[in-house]
Amino acid sequence: MKTTFGVGLVILILCSTGLSFAQEKTLSVTEMKAYPAVVKPGRKVLISCRATDTRGPMFILRVAAMAKSADFGTSYPVLFDDGTNGDKTSRDGVYSLKIIAPKKPGEVKVFFYAVSTDRQEVESETVTFTVR
């Protein structure tokens, strides 16, 4: 006859000490921007966001973005915080990338994603720019 007393005791101890199996969220994406807000077709747009992890910047594995419109959709797997590719200041927590606006007019929605070294993922609110 098997007993599960040990497992129940471990769960009781975890619950009573405030520990849980759920991972505490430490990652966030804020200050999303697309500049300029209105752009001509095929012109450059600077997209950026601030990504933070309460444990420190070394826990941010990657920041990425996705842009979507009625006739357009693409992903940008890497945004930069090293002073290149449109990023203004290295290691300030603001991740940026210069992208090319679609050729067709319309509103473009941009979402940002951050992934931490322990594989937490967070998605930002939407920021938009208009192609005219």
Ordered by start, the domain boundaries in the chain are 23-131
Q: Which token pair is 130? A: 């208009």
Give the pLDDT score at 18: 45
Give the pLDDT score at 24: 82
Q: To the nearest 5 percent, what fractions of the chain are helix, strand and coil?
A: 10, 50, 40
Q: Mind listing the pLDDT tens digit for each residue in 45-104? A: 999 999 999 999 999 999 999 999 998 899 999 999 999 999 999 999 999 999 999 999
Between CA 20 and CA 6 the distance in angstroms is: 17
Give the pLDDT score at 23: 66
Which CATH number is 23-131's, of 2.60.40.10, 2.102.10.10, 3.20.20.150, 3.30.465.10? 2.60.40.10
Q: Would strands 121-123 and 94-100 be described as parallel, antiparallel, or unpaired?
A: unpaired
Whether the predicted model's global pTM rises above the 0.75 cut: yes
